[in-house]
Chain A
Amino acid sequence: DAKTTQPNSMESNEEEPVHLPCNHSTISGTDYIHWYRQLPSQGPEYVIHGLTSNVNNRMASLAIAEDRKSSTLILHRATLRDAAVYYCILRRNNFNKFYFGSGTKLNVKP
């Protein structure tokens, strides 16, 4: 199984940047790195994904280490609506399995 390690919880102030780390030291060359978040009482929703290069979209940025053994999800300006559990996931190419860990619970303070 492709494993990821994340801190259990983090705290941020509103309107400040947040860097959510993820370690995936057993990553293979064909594993995609995904991030999802889960708001209370909802199913997870897609945030961003990447393979080797850093990625940006309207929700967040994904910074991938050069050796790909870690990645960081960056929320540029945290809002109260960003309070959620964030999951870092690996998906092996040609396989349909997404392995979810326990995630990081992000608390955003006003």
Chain B
Amino acid sequence: DVKVTQSSRYLVKRTGEKVFLECVQDMDHENMFWYRQDPGLGLRLIYFSYDVKMKEKGDIPEGYSVSREKKERFSLILESASTNQTSMYLCASRGTGPTNEKLFFGSGTQLSVL
């Protein structure tokens, strides 16, 4: 089965710090995604990437950027962390084509910004 690995399960950062969240998948998937999950709001898409060096904004990209230098790795960057970015961050990947409908998720990174 596909494995999507997020580098940290829990992370505590201070306001104004630059934060990197890393995600690696092992199934050669073209598409990778970053979501944040907040109580009562479900999952909201921040950014996604459909190929190396390609990215598209999701529904809530403000305050975030992403990097995809290698196919297996997709990084989410908080340039200057703020307390309203305290959240659970979930990475996902998916192949391309009609037989690749499934999204595969990592276990998530719970980020606290103090």
Contacts and interface: CB of A to CB of B under 8 A. Distances in A.
Contact of A96 (B43, B44, B48, B107): B48
Interface of B: 4, 31, 33, 35, 40-45, 48, 50, 56, 58-59, 90, 92, 94, 101-108
A16 interface: no
Contacts, number: 50
Interface residues of A, number: 21
Given A42-B108, A98-B103, 6 more contacts: A34-B101, A41-B107, A43-B106, A45-B105, A96-B33, A97-B58
Contacts of A43: 4, 90, 92, 105-108
Nearest 7 CB-CB pairs, A to B? A43-B105, A100-B43, A46-B102, A102-B42, A100-B42, A44-B105, A49-B101
B90 A44 contact: yes
